Structure 1
Amino acid sequence: MFHVFGFFMLVRAVAVGETLVLMEKFDFEKMLRAVEKYRVTYMPVSPPLVVALAKSEVAGKYDLSSLEYLGCGGAPLGKEVSERFAARFPNVDIGQGYGLTETGGGAARHIGQDECKHYGSVGRLAENMEARIVDPVTGEALPPGQKGELWLRGPTVMKGYVGDDEATAATLDSEGWLKTGDLCYFDSDGFLYIVDRLKELIKYKAYQVPPAELEHLLQSHPDIADVAVIPYPDEEAGQIPMAYVVRKPGSNITEAQVMDFIAKQVAPYKKIRRVAFINSIPKSPAGKILRRELVNHALSGVSSRL
C-alpha cells in the first residue's frame, strides 16, 4: 500500500464502494485461487504478473472467467506481452497507466476498450496535465515520434521534497516542470510510450540501449519465464547488454539461442552479448526489477545462485 499505484487503487475501491480482496503476502497461485473464489473482476497489476498470467500453465487450472480488466502500471509493459495476454484472455482488457509519487498518482492512462488496444502505450495525458518531451542533452523540446525525457506540469505535481532543496531544484524547474527521468515519446495521436529510465540506459559505444526493449522481446520467447537486462562493463564498448534469464520448467534454452533470438530482431548495437541463467529475477514489492542487485552479482564473479 506504500506504493502510489497500490494506494490509489485502495482509495478507488473505497470511493466507489467496491469489495476489496487483500492478500497478506503475494503468492501467484494463492492469487489465482482468490480470483476464482471471490469472482474478482478487476485487478491492479505490474508487468511481471501480466507475463506470468500470459505464460503460466498453472493459470489454466483455475476459473478466471470473472476477470474483466487489469490495470497495469509500475513499469513498462511491452506490446508483445500484451498481445500474448490478449490471445490467452480475449475477454480481459489491460488498461495501462503512468504516474509518479511526485505527480500525485496517474499522469496518463487508457480510457475505454478502444484505447486499451494501443498495446505498449500508457494512454493519453490526464486532465489538466501538460507534458513535453525534452532532449536530455540540449534541453530542446522534441516533436511527436522522437524520444526524450518526459517533463510534466499540472495541479497535482508536488511542490518539492521535504527538507531537500537540492533534490527539489534538480527535479523541478523554475516554471514548475517536473523532470521525470523517463525516456518517452508521444505518437501523432497523443498516446504516450515509456521506453525506459534514462539512468538505466546501457551505453554501448556511442549508442544508448534501453534494457526494457530487450526484456520485452525476450519475454515473448516461449522458453523464457522471466528476464532482466543489465549493463556489463567492457573495455572496448564501455558497456554491453547482459541478460539474466529464468528458464521455463523443462526448458533447456542455451546462451547462444538467447543471443540469436535477439540478434534477429534488433540493430547490431542492441544485441545481447552475455547471458546468465538464474532461478528468479530480484524485484521490489512494486514489481520493479532490482537491476543493481544483478549488476553487483555479475561483477562479483561468483557462482552463487540467486
Structure 2
Amino acid sequence: MLPVENALTIVQLFANAARNYGDRPAIEDDGRSISYRQLDQLRDQAARALLALNVQPGDRVAIWAPNIWEWIVAAAALQSVGAALVPLNTRMKGSEAGFILRQSGACVLFAIGEFLGADYPRMLAAEELPALRQIVTLRSDDSKTLSWDAFLALASDVSPQTLQTREQALGPQDLSDLLFTSGTTGKPKGVMSNHGQTLRVVRDWSEVVGLREGDRYLIVNPFFHSFGYKAGWLAALMRGCTIVPQQVFDVQAVLECVQRERITVLPGPPTLYQSLLAHPQRDAFDLTSLRIAVTGAATIPVEMIRRMRDELGFATIVTAYGLTETCGFATICRPGDSLELLASTSGRAMPGVEVRCIGANGRSQPANVPGEIQVRGYNLMQGYFNDPQASQEVLDADGWLHTGDIGVLDEQGYLRITDRLKDMFITGGFNVYPAEIEHCLLGYPGVAQVAVIGIPDERLGEVAMAFLLPAPGVEIEQARFLAWCREQMANYKVPRRVQVLESMPLNAAGKVTKNVLREWALS
C-alpha cells in the first residue's frame, strides 16, 4: 500500500486515503459526517456521472460555490476523469464569472443554487457561454438545471471499468487545476498547475506545519483560493485530518465551532486572528484544543503573535508567502522560529524551492538589500492558459518566476516583503489588483480617467480608494457611483473611498503617479 503522501495524482491520493484511514471522518459538514471510504465512493460516483456527461481529458470544469462537502467531491471527481478544476470566487458577479467561464472554456459548471441572497445560476442568464454544456446546481431544486442528486444518478450509465481506464491514463504531468489570477493588465489569467507538483507542494507544506492524523481542521479560507484548496482540504485529506468547512467568516460562529468540534488547526489571514482576539466574549469559549495557526504574507505585530500563542493557545504559529503562480507556496517559517521572525518575515524557501531578490542590474542583492523577489523550483506554474506571451513575461529562460513583489532576504534566507511592484494589496485575505478595478470603473458613464490605490483599514488591512477624473461638464454623484460599483464587482474590490479630481497627477511619461495619490489619501 502506497503511503498517502506518495500519491502521484489526486485520484491516487483519494484511493490511498480511503485504504489508510477507512472509517475515520474525512468531512463533517452541516450535520453530515463522511468517512474517508465514503468520500472515495462519492468521488467515484461523481466521476462516472461526469463521464456520462462526456467530459474528456483536458476539459475544464468549474465550481462556483462556498465551502461545502459537495465542492470537494466535485473537484476530486473532475480531476479523476482528467479534467482541470476552475474555481470561481463566490463574491463574483455574473459578468466576472462569465469572463472566466469563457476564458477557460469550461464545459460543466457546479454552482450553488442560492448563497448570501444571490441566485448563482440566474446571475449567468445574460452571459454568452458557448462552451458550457451543463450546470449542476448544489443544494437547490431549480428545475432549469441538473440537481446534484440527478447528476449523481447518471453514474449508473457508466461502468466502473470505464472510469478505471480513464484514471489509469492519468499521470502527474496532467493538469489538475486552472486558478485565475488578475494582473497588471486588469484581465484575469488562468494559472496552470499539474497533479504531481500540487501533491508535492501540499506534502511539503503539511509536513512543515505539522498536520497529523486525527487533526480537526476548520477551513474558513475559501475553497476557490489555493489557501483553502491546496493548504486546506487537499492537505487535510493527505494527512488523515477531519475537514470542518465554514461557508462565511463569522467570529462568533468560529468560536462556537472551535469549542463544539474541538478544532486543532485554524489557518487564515491576519484579520481572522485579530477578530478572534478582539471578540468581547472570547473568554467564554473553550479554545484549548487549538494547536496550529498559519497566516499570510503581511507584516504582523509581534504582540499579536504573542497573544495568539498566549491567549488563543496556538503551540505552532507559522507565516508564509506564495502566489497562485507558485501553487500557492514559496516561503514559510518553521515551527520554533522566534516571535520576531514570525512577525516580520514570511519565512524561508520551501524545500526544493529557490528564492532570490534581484536588483536593477539583474544580479542577486546582498543580504538585507531590497530587490524584486524571484522564485524557481518544481512549484512554478506550467504557464498561463492560452497566453504564452504573458507566460514569457514572468517566466525567464533560466526558470525564474518574476513575482513583481519587492523584498529583502536576511543572512539566514528569511524573506521580508517591503513593497508590491504591481500595486496589489490585500483586503481581508483577498488579493486586490487596482488595474482590474480601474478597467471596470472606466465603464461608469462620465468617467474619463480613474486610478485606484490601497489605503490602510484597521479591520481589513487595506481597502480600495478610487480617484476619478470626470469628463468635461459631467458631475459624478458618489453615492450613485458606489451603488453601481457594488453591482459590478465583488464586494472586497468595491472602493471604500472616492475622490473626484480636477486633474490627475502625471509623471513625464504621462502615467499616473500613485505615490502622489497615496500622499493625498493620507492627508
TM-score for both structures, normalised by structure 1 = 0.65
- The one-letter code sitting in structure 2 at the alignment partner of 1:79 is P
- The one-letter code sitting in structure 2 at the alignment partner of 1:68 is R
Residue 145 of structure 1: how far off its partner (Å): 0.6
Maintained 8 Å contact 1:107/1:125: yes
Matches within 5 A, 1:35-46: 35-46=258-269
Partner of 1:63: 286
**Is residue 2:219 matched to residue 1:4?**
no
Residue 138 of structure 1: how far off its partner (Å): 4.0
- The one-letter code sitting in structure 1 at the alignment partner of 2:268 is V
- The one-letter code sitting in structure 1 at the alignment partner of 2:375 is L
Distance 1:198 1:56, change over 3 A: farther
Distance 1:131 1:91, change over 3 A: closer
Runs of 5+ in structure 2 lacking a partner?
1-222, 426-452, 468-488, 502-523
Runs ≥4 in structure 1, deviation > 4 angstroms? Answer: 224-227, 229-233
Partner of 1:128: 352
- 77-86 or 174-183: bigger deviation: 77-86
Residue 18 of structure 1: how far off its partner (Å): 0.7
- The one-letter code sitting in structure 1 at the alignment partner of 2:379 is T
**Is residue 2:499 matched to residue 1:299?**
yes
Runs of 5+ in structure 1 lacking a partner?
203-210, 219-223, 234-282, 302-306
The 2-side partners of 1:114 and 1:141 are apart by 25
Partner of 1:113: 336
Maintained 8 Å contact 2:409/2:415: yes
Residue 166 of structure 1: how far off its partner (Å): 2.2
- The one-letter code sitting in structure 2 at the alignment partner of 1:293 is P
Distance 1:26 1:16, change over 3 A: same
Maintained 8 Å contact 1:108/1:124: yes
Partner of 1:236: none
Partner of 1:79: 301
The 1-side partners of 2:334 and 2:269 are apart by 18
Matches within 5 A, 1:19-30: 19-30=242-253
Distance 1:172 1:67, change over 3 A: same
Distance 1:141 1:35, change over 3 A: same
1:42-95, Cα deviation, whole Å (9 max, x unpaired): 11211111221233323233211111111112x414234324434533544321
The 2-side partners of 1:91 and 1:190 are apart by 25
Distance 1:110 1:116, change over 3 A: farther
Give the length in aligned residue pairs: 229
The equivalent position to 2:462 in structure 1, one of 215, 228, 248, is 228
Q: Helix, strand or coil: the match of 2:242?
A: coil
Indicate the percent of aligned positions where both proteins have the same amino acid: 29
1:202-227, Cα deviation, whole Å (9 max, x unpaired): 9xxxxxxxx99x95xx8xxxxx5555
1:111-135, Cα deviation, whole Å (9 max, x unpaired): 2223666222221111111121012
- 77-86 or 13-22: bigger deviation: 77-86
The equivalent position to 1:187 in structure 2, one of 363, 385, 410, is 410
- The one-letter code sitting in structure 1 at the alignment partner of 2:498 is A
1:185-244, Cα deviation, whole Å (9 max, x unpaired): 111122112234222289xxxxxxxx99x95xx8xxxxx5555376787xxxxxxxxxxx
The 2-side partners of 1:176 and 1:166 are apart by 15
Q: Higher Cα Rg: structure 1 or 2?
A: 2
- The structure where helix makes up a greater share of residues is 2
